[in-house]
């Protein structure tokens, strides 16, 4: 029996769309199935709308700082409904962009929920589609614990659709989504408490980054409570009551759980076809994104490798070149740069100091903390962290980390150098652009005491 398509992609998020377009460009007959809006988590409930809310949250401080620079700012009021309406218009525009890109690439778009029937057949409602290859790119979803009263909490998905800005918000979690939403709600004027059951949030990031961000968030009035856990949530006549493990309680108008995400692998036929899953529900893949079923592949968050949009895009491109381009290509997951759009933001690439000491043994650490030029006039007590981790034996920069305004923009450039194997001597020979925060990375001279 012949195939209807060379490739059927389940999920039209960032990775699935990239794989579809490249495969089609390489001559494959491609269909993509999507049950919701095009663009996946990133466009609809992740990176893009979140960054728009981050921008909105900065204006409160910007208006205050304007006074120091000679600007008189009159009465102001934040309108949550207007922000969300404008955000929705932009997301709808991006949905249309994704549709146009797929159409222009010659990809067939199919709306509905897809399920694998056998290794080469995908069911969408009553329709059966046969394909030589099937790519799973269904992403992930927020995962909430079985805490009593959890039905009264929201996830990041619902946070984008709130009818009004809550006056009191409790954020539960210690990952990047938790610190970002804590910063967003605080910047918009809400009273924010963030709870995390560990000793310090952002596990896996450099320890100096973690402690610096905690200090800066507290300066902005966020009540950070580590070694704290929720045991029960109750609906009250006005707001919510959150009972904590230490016997204390909090009152809030909204409680947002950002305690992890789970791969979207339920009820899409994977078990029936025999695709192996990990303990967290993730699809297990080899270094080329292939599963144990030869015709079934998987990329992006559903594989639980590195859950970042650019990684999914990269994996999608590598898959298409491997299967349809005649050029087997392994995704490269080393030195992946990342940003956390907290306030202040984080930019990071390469190894943390702790990881570098484990991997390379002897390292040299270069670190600077300083008040940015802008706040010499505003008087704000805000510190920027710039840090380099250098392999002592070869002088190679194996990690670069920053906490401060536009950290992601700055580290993106540094990431190119790190990926190319830059040495500390080469950074030292590079002239800085003055006065900028970024120049600190080429003016760090004396290593800190070991």
In this model, does residue 434 exceed pLDDT 70? yes
In this model, does residue 1 exceed pLDDT 90? no
Q: Is 354 helix (H, G, I), strand (E, B) or coil?
A: helix
Residue 444 host element (H or E): none
Report the alpha-carbon distance of residue 219 to residue 274 in Å, rounded: 52
Q: Phi and psi (nearest 5°) for 125?
A: 65, -130
Report the alpha-carbon distance of residue 388 to residue 367 in Å, rounded: 6
Report the alpha-carbon distance of residue 271 to residue 189 in Å, rounded: 47
| Torsion angle in degrees (nearest 10) through CA of 323, 327, 328, 334 | -120
pLDDT, tens digit, 9 for 90 and up, residues 344-385: 999 999 999 999 999 999 999 999 999 999 999 999 999 999
Q: Phi and psi (nearest 5°) for 92?
A: -60, -40
Which pLDDT belongs to residue 207?
98
The edge-to-edge listing of strands for the beta sheet with 384-391 is 338-340, 346-350, 397-403, 384-391, 363-370
Domains identified in the chain and CATH numbers: 5-141+262-324 (3.50.50.60), 150-259 (3.50.50.60), 338-443 (3.30.390.30)
Cis amide leading into 435 (omega within 30): yes
Percentage above 90 pLDDT, the chain: 99
Report the alpha-carbon distance of residue 41 to residue 13 in Å, rounded: 7
58 flagged as catalytic? no
Report the alpha-carbon distance of residue 3 to residue 229 in Å, rounded: 53
In this model, does residue 310 exceed pLDDT 80? yes
What confidence tier does 308 reach under pLDDT thresholds 50, 70, 90?
Answer: very high
Report the alpha-carbon distance of residue 389 to residue 399 in Å, rounded: 5
Residue 339 host element (H or E): strand 338-340
Distances (CA, A) of 330 to 130, 299, 318, 326: 27, 12, 6, 13
pLDDT, tens digit, 9 for 90 and up, residues 62-102: 999 999 999 999 999 999 999 999 999 999 999 999 999 99
In this model, does residue 449 exceed pLDDT 90? no
What confidence tier does 450 reach under pLDDT thresholds 50, 70, 90?
Answer: confident
| Arithmetic mean of pLDDT, 53-63 | 97
- The stretches of 68-114 forming alpha helices (DSSP H) are 80-104
**Of the residues 360, 375, 401, 434, which is catalytic?**
434
Predicted TM-score of the model (pTM): 0.96
Report the alpha-carbon distance of residue 42 to residue 39 in Å, rounded: 7
| Torsion angle in degrees (nearest 10) through CA of 191, 339, 97, 305 | -110
Residue 398 host element (H or E): strand 397-403
- Residue 282's region, left for phi above 0, alpha for psi from -120 to 50, else beta, is beta
**Mean pLDDT, the chain, whole residue set:** 97
Report the alpha-carbon distance of residue 54 to residue 6 in Å, rounded: 41
């Amino acid at each position: 029996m012949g195939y209807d398509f060379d490739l059927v992609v389940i999920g039209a998020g960032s990775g699935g769309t990239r794989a579809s377009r490249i495969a089609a460009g390489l001559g494959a007959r491609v269909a993509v199935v999507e049950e919701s809006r095009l663009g996946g988590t990133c466009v609809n409930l992740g990176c893009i709308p979140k960054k728009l809310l981050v921008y909105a949250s900065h204006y409160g401080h910007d208006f205050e700082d304007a006074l120091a620079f000679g600007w008189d700012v009159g009465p102001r009021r934040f309108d949550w409904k207007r922000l969300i309406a404008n955000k929705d218009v932009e997301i709808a525009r991006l949905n249309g962009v994704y549709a146009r890109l797929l159409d222009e690439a010659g990809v067939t778009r199919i709306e509905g929920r897809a399920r694998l029937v056998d290794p080469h057949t995908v069911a969408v409602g009553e329709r059966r589609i046969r394909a030589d290859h099937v790519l799973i790119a269904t992403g992930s979803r927020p995962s909430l614990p079985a805490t009593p009263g959890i039905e009264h909490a929201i996830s990041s998905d619902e946070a984008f659709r709130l009818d009004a800005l809550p006056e009191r918000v409790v954020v539960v979690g210690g990952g990047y989504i938790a610190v970002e939403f804590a910063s967003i709600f605080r910047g918009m004027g809400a009273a924010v408490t963030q709870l995390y059951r560990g000793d310090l949030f952002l596990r896996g990031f450099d320890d100096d980054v973690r402690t610096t961000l905690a200090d800066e968030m507290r300066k902005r009035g966020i009540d950070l409570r580590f070694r704290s856990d929720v045991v029960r949530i109750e609906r009250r006549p006005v707001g919510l009551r959150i009972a904590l493990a230490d016997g204390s309680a909090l009152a809030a108008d909204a409680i947002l759980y950002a305690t992890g995400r789970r791969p979207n692998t339920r009820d899409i036929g994977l078990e029936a076809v025999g695709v192996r899953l990990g303990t967290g529900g993730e699809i297990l893949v080899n270094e080329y994104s292939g599963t144990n079923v030869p015709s079934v592949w998987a990329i992006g968050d559903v594989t639980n490798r590195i859950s970042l949009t650019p990684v999914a895009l990269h994996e999608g491109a590598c898959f298409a070149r491997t299967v349809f381009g005649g050029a087997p290509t392994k995704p490269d997951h080393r030195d992946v740069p990342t940003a956390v759009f907290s306030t202040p933001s984080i930019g990071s690439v390469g190894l943390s100091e702790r990881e570098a000491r484990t991997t390379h043994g002897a390292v040299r650490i270069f670190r600077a903390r300083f008040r940015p030029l802008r706040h010499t006039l505003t008087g704000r007590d805000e510190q920027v962290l710039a840090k380099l981790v250098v392999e002592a034996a070869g002088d190679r920069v194996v990690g670069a980390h920053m906490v401060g305004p536009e950290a992601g923009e700055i580290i993106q450039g540094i990431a190119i150098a790190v990926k190319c194997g830059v040495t500390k001597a080469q950074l030292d020979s590079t002239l800085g652009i003055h006065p900028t925060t970024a120049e600190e990375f080429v003016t760090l001279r004396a290593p800190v005491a070991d």
